[in-house]
Each structure stands twice: as structure tokens, then as C-alpha cells.
Amino acid sequence: MTGFIGQALLYIVPFLLVLTFIVTIHELGHFLVARAFGVKIDRFSVGFGKTIVSWTDRRDTEWRLAWLPLGGYVKFSGDLDASSVPDQAGLAELRQRVIAENGAGAERDYFHFKPIWQRALIVAAGPAANFLLAVVLFTVLFSVVGEQIVAPRVARVAPGTPAAEAGFRSGDLIVAVNGQPVREGAEVTRRVIMSAGDPLRFTVDRAGQTVNLTATPQRRLEQDELAGQVRIARIGLEMSPLPQDFTYRRLNPLEASAKGMDAIGDTVGTTATYIGRIFTGKESGDLLNGPLGIAKAAGGVTRQAVQANPDPAFIAANLALTFLQFAAIVSIGIGIVNLLPIPVLDGGHLLFYAYEAVARRPVPAQVQEVGYRVGLALLAGLMLFATWNDLQKLSLFKFLGGLA
């Protein structure tokens, strides 16, 4: 029982802390831009469910801390439905009610009567806050830890693999992939993972001589310490740098911020490439993670940080830096997901506003209802698919299959 509680604390608590922190920042983005435009806001809640503590500010906004730490939400005055995009009839009804209760002109303080560009900025502010958070966290990381570049030096070539067939040798230094220069091993690994079944052209430095090699990544089943069992593309290289392959420098805040934005661009680009390959049938989606996978990763980074050094001060510092990086990556993911053009997400609202800007009227209620239901189905399907991946990575079905 004690072991179970320990595992629950190791995996669930870090996951909930990171999720609540990131979602709160997301909602704070909506809140701050809405308040800047004078929008009347009923509630800002951190967590869901029963209220632990609450207070009301001078603008009559209730600030609430709830007992279920699964994120949070902002409630604008006058929200009529779950999609928060009422049609013409809904707007007319809301306008009439607001004027009757508060007098003529009061409706101008309500979100739905703000100009389209203001509403769009308020909606986009949530994902923008996630990306901004990631920039801030990466800036702190690169300022404190600095930048260490580890050149992609080949240490061993596994026999019978695409790398062996291509002619790679121990000691080769990879300098370019498909004609694009690479500086570190992580870049090579990322390109390989995103190219299953597609030939890659490698330019290597072999004892001062330039050699061109071609290898096609192939998927294979691996056990990852953080993600569990994953089917991932490899070519069969084990990379290990020589002393001269290490480059380290401490970045000033401006350089660290630029490096953070580069990291976000790389993550967004890689995600877009992977999703595109799923739709073209080149990837199965094995690397998509749901809540279970994220929780397992949160527990994994916690365990690694604790095991790195038993000194309490080192553990605290390592945990802080590790979770800064983990939170930055998860924040980027939440920002990307919220921009998907699904009606229940911020991207869906932006899609509706784009229609309204062109048609000069809101999307009809019937269309919104259908879009909302389809969006829920798509989102539920995506979550089920990601959770299925999580369960397979955790080998749960093999475990259950062995029970009698």
C-alpha cells in the first residue's frame, strides 16, 4: 500500500502541478487581454469543483481556488452556451437582457459585443500565453544552465541496420542531413525519427574527408524510460562525442530568449511534420501521448532528478531545472492543441470569428451546434487514441492477458 501511494505521488502529483500551472497561465492570457479591453468577467477559477477559498476584486470578478487541480477557467459575463459564440438570435436576447438589467450601453462591456478583432485577440491570448511561458522558462534555463552543444559523433554502428548498409563507420562526424547543416546529436535524432521510410542523405566528416551516405530509417520497438514501449524510427547509430565535440557557453538573457524561441519553433515544426505524416499514412501516431503518458513522463523526470545525486540541495535544484524544461515543453503542446481548428478549442473560436468577419454575421446556431458536437467527437477521439497509445506503451494489455 505504501509503495502504491509512493508511485501515485511520484506520477500524479507532478503531473497535476504542471498541468494546473500551465492551464492557469493559459487562462490568465485570456483574462489579461479581456480586462485590457474592458470585458466584464464573472469568475477566474484555479481548479474545478468545490471552492476552497474565494474573494471578489473591485471589478466584481470572483477569484476562486477549487479542490480539483486539473487546470482552471475564465467565465466572461453573458456566456450563453458551451461554445461561447452565440448566433444573432442569442446576441439579441443577451443585449435585451443586459440593457434591461443594467441600462443602455452596459452591453458594451460584454465579450460578445466587442469588435471581432478584440474577441479574436482575447481568444488567441490563451495559446500565446503558453508560448510566452515557454519562452520565459527556456530563457531561465539557458541563462542559468547555459548552452551545451554535443556534436553528432558516431561511436558504434549496429550490424544489419540501415546505417551499416549505408557505410557508416565508428568515428564519423555527421555535419549535414539532406543538405542542411547539423550541430548536435539531438538534431540528427529528430530528423531520423521524423523520416521513417524516407531516405536521408548524410554528409559526414571522416578523418577530414567529406563522405556522402544514404540511409532509410526503419521503425523498431524500444523501451523508453519515460515513455514506455514505443515504435520509433532508427538507422542503427550509437553516438558518443569525443572531448573536442563538446561546446559550452553561458547565454545572456537576450541570447537565451532567442534560443528559447528557436526551441519553440523547432517543437512546433516537428509537431506539424509528425501530424502531417500521420494524415499521409507515414506515421502510426505511436508517439502521441495522452494524460497517462504525460503523467508517466512527469514521474520519470522526477525520478531521474532525485536519483542523479542524493544531496538534498542538488535534488531541489535539479528538480526545479528539470521541471522548468518539462513545463516548457508541455506548455508548447497545450498551445498547439488549443490552436487546432476544432470548435470546442480556441482555434475553433477563431475559425468562427473568421467566418463572422467575412459574412458580417455570426455562424448560425445550427451550424455551431453541429460543429460543437463534431469538435467534441474529434477531441474525444484524439484523447482516446492518445490514451490507447499510453496503455500500449505501459504494456497493460500484455499484463492483463497473462491473468487467469
Active site residues: 27
Phi, psi of 363 (to 5 degrees): -60, 135
Report how far apart, in Å, the C-alpha atoms of 87 and of each of 41, 83, 84, 375 are. Answer: 20, 11, 10, 18
Cβ neighbourhood burial of 19 (10 Å; 0-12, 13-18, 19+) = buried
Count of Cβ atoms closer than 10 Å to residue 248 Cβ: 10
Report how far apart, in Å, the C-alpha atoms of 36 and of each of 29, 73, 329 are. Answer: 11, 18, 28
Instruction: Find, among 19, 27, 20, 21, the residue nearest to 43 by Cα.
Output: 27
- Residue 315 in contact with residue 305, Cβ under 8 Å? yes
Count of Cβ atoms closer than 10 Å to residue 17 Cβ: 14
- Residue 20 in contact with residue 70, Cβ under 8 Å? yes
- Residue 179 in contact with residue 201, Cβ under 8 Å? yes
